[in-house]
Structure 1
Amino acid sequence: MKYLITGFIRFVTAIDWPMMLILLVLASTGMLVMHSAVGGTDWRFADQLRNFLVALTAMWVVALIPQPVFMKFALPCYLLGVALLIAVMLFGDTSKGATRWLNIGVARIQPSEMMKIAMPLMLAWYFQVRDGSMRFFDFIAAILLLLIPFVLIVKQPDLGTAILVLGAGAFVIYFAGLSFKLLIPLAVCAVISVTAVVSYQDVLCKSDFDWIVLRDYQKHRICTLLDPTTDPLGKGFHTIQSTIAVGSGGVFGKGYMKGTQTHLDFIPERTTDFIFAVFAEEFGMYGGVTLLLIYGLLIARGLTIAVRAQTQFGRLLAGALTMVLFIYVFVNVGMVTGILPVVGVPLPLMSYGGTALVTIGVACGMLMSINRYRPVKK
């Protein structure tokens, strides 16, 4: 009985209950929308429920781990992740034109998912070690550490995961003290590039024009975003149908289980990348805005934990993991509403899939561990 009471107390104190409440609201909403998207309680609904239980368990286990343990395993996790990415490049399984999986005998794993956690973990540890003796060279070294897995993931190709890994590492570097002035040239280059693509899309989007830095399918995604009607039944189908679904929901929505775009199978990938279109069609603008506000509360809680963290490592890691959640939401909603290219980024705690849910569960568990950690004063 004593051990049961002790274990229960550890469980209660490990959980950050404000964050847990937000996660439960999002998870419940996700299951509600999944029920509508699949039209009942078929195997996908049951699988998603199981995925949530696995993610919740992973979150609780990670929340119980003391922060110093994360620091201890930061470098080994990063090296293992890079080694697995190289193994994928050399021996990986190819599916639908992408080499992203590694067969280890008992299962197929996707090492790029691991880097979403290992990358910010590594850079937070690096800047913790360099704290107090920071030089400009340290930022250059951190950028190189970030570019290695980013390039390996882009080559698979997996642009969506590469963006998330790049964003996670970039936020750590920025939070560590990189001058905002150094980001101005990058912002200027981005504005010029977007302006050039929009202004000269007729030339740049011709089939025989080679973008060099992007693969053909990535080029087509950008060109389709600019004008989906150029291929309405092909590459533009996803964007056109999702924006129709979002717009047809109007202000109040069509009602639960009454989305015509959803139940007539017009929304592609409606249980995964485009589940927000299902939600927006059935619950309308008010429902969509409310959902975004709930995500805003989750991000605000994560940033609060980052501000209150007791160590440099904790602040950097919590800030980066929180901003990764922001990137998830921003990119997914952006591509569903037609303002960003389709890159295959799921909506946190809503989209079907076990790997992404477990990754988010681990990230939230780390945030809870950071919030609970108090260093022992010597």
Structure 2
Amino acid sequence: MGLAQGRTWWQRLRPHVMVFDAPLALIIAALLSVGLVTLYSAGIAIPGKVWDQMRNIAAAVLVMWFVANISPQTMMRLAVPVYMAGVALLVAVALFGIIKGGSRRWLYIGTQIQPSELMKIAMPLMLAWFFQREQGHIRWQSYAIAAVLLAIPAGLIARQPDLGTAMLVTAAGACVIFLGGLSWKALGALVATGAAGLPVLWSFMHDYQRDRVLTLIDPYHDPLGKGFHIIQSMIAIGSGGVTGKGWTHGTQAHLEFIPERTTDFIFAVFSEEFGLAGNLVLMALYLLLIWRGLSITLNAPTLFTRLLAGAITMIYFTYAFVNMAMVSGIVPVVGVPLPFMSYGGTALMTLGLGGGILMSIQRHSRELRTGVRA
């Protein structure tokens, strides 16, 4: 009798515990493990860094589990309130946000938060809801409305100024709009218009943003000033060679030539210590992450879930590509962390939230196919 009761208890609890998608969870766990190993070396002179990151990981995993338990139908109902709350918080930041380093990005509401991080998920959530509602009668007006919904938060974030986050939010929203049915011709016209508008954009950029672009073109113009950090980062990547200098033996990082070596520039530390071989393994993990996200997207049963899963996958890709490219001197330096590797709680929470959404979509897709709850 007791055994039977035990089985019944587990049968009731199991659907809410076993919610992780195994392939996606294993890939994320591998990236987090590599990140902790690299962080230990990068922050070896900063006591407590690894333990702090482990707490951040525990919180992100808890968020991932919680969101994986939320059905896509509930996410649809939450889309508009979450988007409106995010925009309201961005307006509040513009009015009386906390200024750090010349940027007004933070808001104090009992605790300090960065509302722009919320919009990385709220934006694709809102647009996926919008196109689901418009399904069957999507016209050019629909894309115009979607563009306005995207432009409002992106503009508020760029005004802070936080061009890096504004680009990520725009990329996630643009992915939803494209997957929503935007034609290649229209996309080409938008890209051409954007390219033509670059001179206008240049006139609105802040001095430090212009300096980042000019430094990208010629970092050696000011090798001991504005170009110092990116030059040292490229030296670290190149000096790693094929097999690297070995774990905890990276001189550029330990002699403190690499800036933000535990956060935005952790890829330079990894490259110096593990070399080309390590980079190939790391990129393979990110490709597997993107592959799993795309697989979940293709198997999603509704337009809403397909658009949302595709946007989350795009966020992962953009994070990884932009971070590796900026550290390698291919794109201007922007504040974009390396997914699941860079130190930091807020970005890790956002990534965990995205992972939970993917797992929820995959779980409910499997339930619809099999007719059995996971």
The yes-or-no answer on 1:138 pairing with 2:142 is: yes
Is the CA contact (8 Å cut-off) linking 1:35 and 1:41 kept in structure 2? no
Matches within 5 A, 1:235-314: 235-314=226-305
The one-letter code of the counterpart of 1:110 is Q
Following the alignment from structure 1 to structure 2, what is the Cα–Cα distance between the partners of residues 41 and 144?
Answer: 44
What is the Cα deviation at residue 273 of structure 1? Answer: 0.2
Asked if 1:315 is matched to 2:306, the reply is yes
Give, in angstroms, the shift of residue 5 of structure 1: 5.1
Counterpart in the other structure of 1:327: 318
* Letter of the structure 1 residue corresponding to residue 281 of structure 2: T
| Matches of 1:182 and 1:174, distance apart in 2 | 10
1:143-186 CA deviation, whole Å, 9 max, x = no partner? 01000000000000001110110001000000000001112234
Q: Are the structure 2 counterparts of residues 190 and 252 from structure 1 closer, same or farther at C-alpha, using a change threshold of 3 Å?
A: farther
Call closer, same or farther: CA 1:376–1:39 in 2, change over 3 Å. closer
Partner of 2:217: 226
Written as runs of structure 1 = structure 2, the 5 A alignment for 1:1-378 is 1=6, 2-4=8-10, 6-12=12-18, 14-39=19-44, 42-104=47-109, 106-188=110-192, 211-374=202-365
Which residue type is aligned with residue 9 of structure 2? Y
Could you tell me how far apart the structure 2 residues matched to 1:193 and 1:230 are?
A: 27
| C-alpha separation in 2, matches of 1:71 and 1:247 | 47
- Give 3-state SS (helix, strand or coil) of 1:99's partner: strand
Q: Following TM superposition, by how much is the alpha carbon of 1:43 offset from its aligned partner in structure 2, in angstroms?
A: 1.3
Q: CA deviation at 1:103?
A: 1.1
Write the distance in 2 (CA, Å) between the matches of 1:192 and 1:248. 39
**Deviation at 1:277?**
0.2
For each residue in 1:308-367, what CA deviation from the matched residue of structure 2 results, as whole angstroms up to 9, or x when unmatched? 000100000000110011000010000000001000100000000000001000000000
**Cα drift, residue 234 of structure 1:** 2.2
CA distance, structure 1, for counterparts of residue 168 and residue 17 of structure 2: 30
Task: Provide the identity percentage.
Answer: 53
Task: Provide the rounded CA distance (Å) in 1 between the counterparts of 2:151 and 2:194.
Answer: 18
CA displacement, residues 206-230 of structure 1 (integer Å, 9 cap, x when unaligned): xxxx942211110000001111112
Quote the Cα distance in structure 2 between the aligned partners of 1:4 and 1:226: 60
Structure 1 residue 189: deviation in Å?
A: 5.1
**Which residue of 2 is the match for residue 202 of structure 1?**
none
TM-score (norm 2): 0.93
* Contact 1:116–1:168 (Cα < 8 Å) also in 2: yes
- Following superposition, the deviation at residue 262 of structure 1 comes to 1.0
Check 1:219–1:41 CA distance in 2 against 1; reply closer, same or farther (3 A cut). Answer: closer
The letter of the residue matching 1:157 is P
- Whole-angstrom distance in 2 between the partners of 1:286 and 1:188: 38
Q: TM-score, normalised by structure 1?
A: 0.92
Question: Letter of the aligned partner of 1:133 in structure 2?
Answer: H
How many angstroms does 1:372 deviate by?
1.3
* Consecutive unaligned residues in structure 2, runs of 5 or more: 1-5, 370-374
Quote how far apart the aligned CAs of 1:41 are: 7.8
Q: What displacement does 1:193 show?
A: 7.6
Question: What amino acid maps onto 1:84 in structure 2?
Answer: L
- Kindly provide the amino acid, as one letter, of the partner of residue 29 in structure 1: V
Q: Separation in 1 of the partners of 2:189 and 2:175?
A: 17
**C-alpha separation in 1, matches of 2:368 and 2:347:** 34
One-letter amino acid matched to 1:160 = G
CA distance in 2 between counterparts of 1:192 and 1:267 reads 36
Partner Cα separation in structure 1 for residue 272 and residue 368 of structure 2: 52
